[in-house]
Amino acid sequence: MDTFTMARKKKTPKPNEQLARTIIEQYQPKSVADMQDALKDIFGPMFEAMLQGEMDSHLGYQNNERGEKQSTNRRNGYTQKTLKTTTGDVPIQVARDRDGSFEPVVVPKRKRDVSAIEDKVLAMYAKGMSQRDIAETIEDIYGFEISHDTVSEITDRVLEQLDEWQNRPLKKFYTFLFVDCLYVPVRKDYETRNYAVYVILGYDVDEKKDILGLWLSEAESKHQWMQIFDELKTRGVEDVLFLSMDGVSGLEEGAKAVFPKVTVQRCIVHLIRNSIKYVPNKDYKRYTAHLKKVYGAASLKAAEAEFERFRQAWDQYPGAVEVWVRNWQHVAQLFRYGSSVRKILYTTNPIESVNSSFRKVTKKGDFPSENALLKLLYLRVSELYKKWNGRPMNNWAMVRNQLSMDEKIQVRIEKYENGGF
């Protein structure tokens, strides 16, 4: 992420401030009473879900799970309980067991005042803390221990939200899609394997960002990308203007097989990285400076003229030049569009920024399962949504203007504007 030097340092919003903005947008409260009602809607189901997770851990099986149970103890309905919170009284249902041995720790028996817990629980969710960190935080705050298994049962409730999010309907039309993979170690069958996490970031016509989904596989392949593009279409995507990628073999053909009108753009930065492998260190600066004159030219005619000079000047490194000859169409097609559109298409930086955010929370070590990884990534996606909410994209009005100059593109945009997408 870019770092800006400013005369006055901007205050970084705290997680609770970001969450507050999301609540305000969704509930549109008009008074303090409305805000309290909104928070009650959130706290009640949250505490109930955490108590359900504790009961699952206590009994050793999940609700509605079929098959033989190791324990003879069973669920025995619910009791009503009213919690005292900072927003007022919140009624919840607390699960019971037949032999009465269930002792919840999130909301202990005979405890009704949970006002001190709320901020801590929200903070743990907002930060995507590990099971160990959550357990240590609870012990530090409340003075009792909670096992990693119990934490896992509680946080597994996030998987239901993840499944709903992963299968939600998508918009019919996106102006830009950015696709990329990152690799995260996951333990499976007593060994650690690097799993590919497929990520797609989309920009809609109204400059809203969205992560369309997360997919796991043991390796990146064009076949897997094809399946993902098919899934996007099944979830409602009809048309995409541009798809920016880093150059996976077969990805372009796969994308066009599903979205025939899409323009697939190779990342210029990745092409530079691929080509400088053939250039000695002493020539890096001159080489990249000359390349910038090519892809940074004012017009296609100027770019083609500069490219000829580039080929002649660097013909002593045929491997480096060949990278650009082979991919020249991806450079040339940039000049069909204005400079603001080209600036978006030059790189896959938007999706790499997302993956950088993921790496901040996945660098601690191996994950015990695919679900453990997905839970954490989903929580991170929720954090990114809060960060993006209401934040305009730079120069989007100019991007729209430059896109509308292409009549065919404008027809496609108009088809999905005004509620059509």
State pLDDT tens for residues 307-327.
999 999 999 999 999 999 999
Same domain, 182 and 144: no
Both ends of the chain: CA-CA distance in Å? 30
pLDDT score at 126: 44
The reply to whether 131 and 177 lie within a common domain is: no
User: In this predicted structure, which of 11-25, 27-41, 65-79, 229-243 has the lowest mean pLDDT?
Assistant: 11-25
Q: Are residues 218 and 338 in the same domain?
A: yes
pLDDT at residue 8, rounded to an integer = 40
Kindly state the tokens that stand for 316. Answer: 């002593």
- Name the pLDDT band for 364 (thresholds 50, 70, 90): confident
pTM of this prediction? 0.68
In a domain, 165, yes or no: no
Last residue of a domain, one of 155, 185, 219: 155
Residues 230, 151 share a domain: no
| pLDDT score for 332 | 93
Residue 23 in domain = yes
Q: Which pLDDT value is given to residue 239?
A: 96
Say if residue 245's pLDDT is above 80.
yes
Q: In the prediction, which pLDDT does 127 show?
A: 61
The tens digit of pLDDT for each residue in 160-207 reads: 888 999 999 999 999 999 999 889 989 888 888 899 999 999 999 988
Query: Would residue 1 count as lying in a domain?
Result: no
For residues 323 and 180, membership in a common domain is answered with yes
Residue 35 confidence class, pLDDT cut points 50, 70, 90: low
User: 79 has which bridge partners?
Assistant: 94
Is there a domain that residue 410 lies in? no
Distance CA(364)–CA(130), nearest Å, equals: 9
148 pLDDT more than 70: no
What range does the domain containing 150 cover?
Answer: 15-63+73-155
Residues 296, 331 share a domain: yes
Q: What percent of the chain has pLDDT over 90?
A: 37
Quick one: 361 and 228 in the same domain?
A: yes
Is the domain of 177 the same as that of 295?
A: yes
Give the Cα separation of 404 and 396 in Å (integer). Answer: 12
Query: How many Å apart are CA 92 and CA 44, to the nearest integer?
Result: 6
In a domain, 414, yes or no: no
- C-alpha span between 262 and 250 (Å, rounded): 15
234 in the same domain as 140: no
Residue owning tokens 């509620």: 419
pLDDT of residue 129: 66
* Residue 3 placed within a domain: no
CB-CB neighbours of 89 under 10 Å: 10
Contact 50, 157 (CB under 8 A): yes
**Do residues 122 and 207 both lie within one domain?**
no
In this predicted model, what pLDDT tens digit does every residue of 79-128 receive, in sequence order? 888 877 666 777 888 888 888 888 887 777 766 655 555 455 545 644 65
Q: Is residue 83 part of a domain?
A: yes
Confidence of residue 77 (pLDDT cuts 50, 70, 90): confident
pLDDT, residue 382, reads 86
Number of domains making up the chain: 2
Domain check: are 272 and 393 in the same one?
yes
Domain for residue 412, yes or no?
A: no
Residue 189 shares a structural domain with residue 117: no
Task: Flag whether pLDDT at 380 surpasses 50.
Answer: yes
